[in-house]
Structure 1
């Protein structure tokens, strides 16, 4: 017998990595807490708690959203609990460079507003600094631990839609949008937990498009039920652009997916049965909604826009009235306010880029636009494939109102929503 060949022991050796705490394995509890505060504490809710968030009077500290205060505390806690604060900061800067850029540019905007003695300091913090800190926290959580975050998101969106439908059915707004405590009696759109109806429409439409595109881990019947509920609530929020985006983008996506299934020649029996049942029940549901006045609400929003279409035309005339040398670094805000009143734009300039150019100048607007685009690209890079539809809808809807050119938390909500529904990819270990 010949002896068995001796295999070097080095061939069997496997490098063993010693177990040590890693910042990426942090708990998802802080992110869940941030989600609940972001999605449930609108300006209307805060007013009932004694905080004048949407208004001009009161303490300056009250103008910053509680989630923006909470984000750096959660990030600090994650840094301390990691056991390696310096390494935590270096890894965060490496994994979230666009978030760091957004943090720097948002701080620069804050300094510019302060030096010019302008208004909107809290807007720069909530709109840009807060989302950057939220994303820095999210990149430190392992994808395997993000299941509870997704569950919390579905629960919050379910509660928001139910409250919106209840407000529509009863005609009474529980947490209406208030300016210095004064609600607008002529605005009967549902407010739910998101406060302003347009913010509600933007968040709900993005969520619906994400579900249509396959985001999340819901079962098929749960996904369909949530889509029906959220779409019905979207109508009560009154966002015309959001409704059109969901119908066109979502309908086109569903049509493409259906044709792809039919081309295979094999349709699941359960899907076929559900489709036939839906076609049978659809006429009855439409008739019931029509008699309940549901479609009257939708038609009213498209017939009466409150001067929104005219505002999009008049806002371009403001730029023509201001010399470019003043537009470069921001014209006098008092002069801009005078022009707005002359053109009947007291209610807002319905495009974020135009508004930022008028108030912050071309230079700062360019930096902010670049930082936001890279920030959204960073979110997409950390998610699994399939984010094109919600990202496209979100980008389109951002440009239909002042959105990120004023005080808002929609960027932070978008980051949490995408990370929760599309689990981020783990980077390869070196």
Structure 2
């Protein structure tokens, strides 16, 4: 499970290209289009069922304790079958985006505290390496594992990719991790926690996710203000903490000013000033609805026609919203099924976490609706599940002990 989690968290399409697997491209065998972690998850689940005997009874037991995970798995399989039967491409996206996180959650049902402690250590290590690699890429201008389409990189995209590949997915995961640390997730010591938050915030700028930065600052700032007001209301403000904050504020202000003077924020400010048509694309995508008949919008239009209309409309970079993308490519019924399944799945994940997970959960829901995210092929949902479960130890379910 630790090995599988490491592959989910740290192995991107760019890294797979380096080892000879064309995961993100159009050419190559279909087996290469499914993430290696998805194969491992299927094998782990099958192995657990066989090892514990009576696979059917174990599946029924797991379905009772993780019904939303099974619903999401069924929705992902249904989407993959729909795509395959229509002769379209993208079935691997349904497996990685929806089946993989469902299997991850099923595998985490009965993990003990020791296993989850190892998982937390892994999460901190991967996120630290990811942040440092992003900062190095920004400083040197060299991207090590960028997103590639059949080997070709997008030279105009200079954002750091680090271990996650896609800058927006990277920014989303980093923002959720930072907010989880701010809200008390994990077991890091206070100074280590502050250091990790600082490094992640610097890396977040290099990933260039405008929405992620804004959401992190707004939610993190609001949380800090609420905690300060509660401390004042209780009349219990630690003198050492107050002295530390008084010393840190001018240092932080000086550091931000130095970074700004050195041009650290120039690329990010440039994206706010000129976003390459991203904002216009989010408006233009609604024009596609008027060009498709209602029946196709409900059951799923011809994907070739949608691709043609998308390019004619000037949406070469894709549909910048997951639900709208699924509606346009797989139809409204499939979009409704997936939306309900993902919503229930996130609720189920939250129920297995201790209190305090609301901040990263809200951030995740907001951010996945700012770009294609779950509408395409991604392991982002599985990564979020691992981070949340690792930092907020799940409430043990004694009934599930010893079962799948």
- Using the size of structure 2 for normalisation, the TM-score is 0.96
Q: CA deviation at 1:406?
A: 0.6
Aligned counterpart, 1:246: 216
The answer to whether residue 326 in structure 2 is matched with residue 338 in structure 1 is no
1:428 and 1:69 map into 2 onto residues whose CA distance is 29
2:212 and 2:257 map into 1 onto residues whose CA distance is 24
Q: CA deviation at 1:288?
A: 2.0
Tell whether the 8 Å contact from 1:327 to 1:358 is kept in structure 2 after alignment: yes
Trace 1:161-200 onto structure 2 (pairs within 5 A).
161-200=131-170
SS of the residue aligned with 1:328? helix
Of the three residues 76, 93, 102, the one matched with 2:63 is 93
Aligned counterpart, 1:327: 297
Aligned counterpart, 1:77: 47
Tell whether the 8 Å contact from 1:143 to 1:424 is kept in structure 2 after alignment: no
Aligned counterpart, 2:263: 293
Aligned counterpart, 1:232: 202
Aligned counterpart, 2:12: 42
Trace 1:261-280 onto structure 2 (pairs within 5 A).
261-280=231-250
Tell whether the 8 Å contact from 1:143 to 1:425 is kept in structure 2 after alignment: no
Q: CA deviation at 1:292?
A: 2.4
The answer to whether residue 218 in structure 2 is matched with residue 209 in structure 1 is no
Q: CA deviation at 1:428?
A: 5.1
**1:126 to 1:429, Cα distance in 2 relative to 1, 3 A:** closer
| Corresponding pairs, count | 400
Tell whether the 8 Å contact from 1:64 to 1:126 is kept in structure 2 after alignment: yes
The answer to whether residue 277 in structure 2 is matched with residue 307 in structure 1 is yes
2:96 and 2:123 map into 1 onto residues whose CA distance is 20
Tell whether the 8 Å contact from 2:116 to 2:393 is kept in structure 1 after alignment: yes
The answer to whether residue 98 in structure 2 is matched with residue 102 in structure 1 is no
1:345 and 1:36 map into 2 onto residues whose CA distance is 34
The answer to whether residue 329 in structure 2 is matched with residue 367 in structure 1 is no
Larger of the two Rg values belongs to structure:
1
Q: Where does the alignment leave 5 or more consecutive residues of structure 1 unmatched?
A: 1-29
Of 329-338 and 191-200, deviating more is 329-338
The answer to whether residue 121 in structure 2 is matched with residue 151 in structure 1 is yes
- Using the size of structure 1 for normalisation, the TM-score is 0.90
Aligned counterpart, 1:378: 348
Of 319-328 and 395-404, deviating more is 319-328
Q: CA deviation at 1:260?
A: 0.9
Q: CA deviation at 1:142?
A: 2.4
Q: CA deviation at 1:84?
A: 5.8
1:100 and 1:409 map into 2 onto residues whose CA distance is 17
Trace 1:408-423 onto structure 2 (pairs within 5 A).
408-423=378-393
Aligned counterpart, 2:101: 131
SS of the residue aligned with 2:169? helix
Aligned counterpart, 1:12: none
Tell whether the 8 Å contact from 1:198 to 1:238 is kept in structure 2 after alignment: yes
Aligned counterpart, 1:62: 32
2:132 and 2:48 map into 1 onto residues whose CA distance is 34
1:248 and 1:121 map into 2 onto residues whose CA distance is 37
Tell whether the 8 Å contact from 2:303 to 2:329 is kept in structure 1 after alignment: yes
Tell whether the 8 Å contact from 2:110 to 2:397 is kept in structure 1 after alignment: no
Q: Where does the alignment leave 5 or more consecutive residues of structure 2 unmatched?
A: none
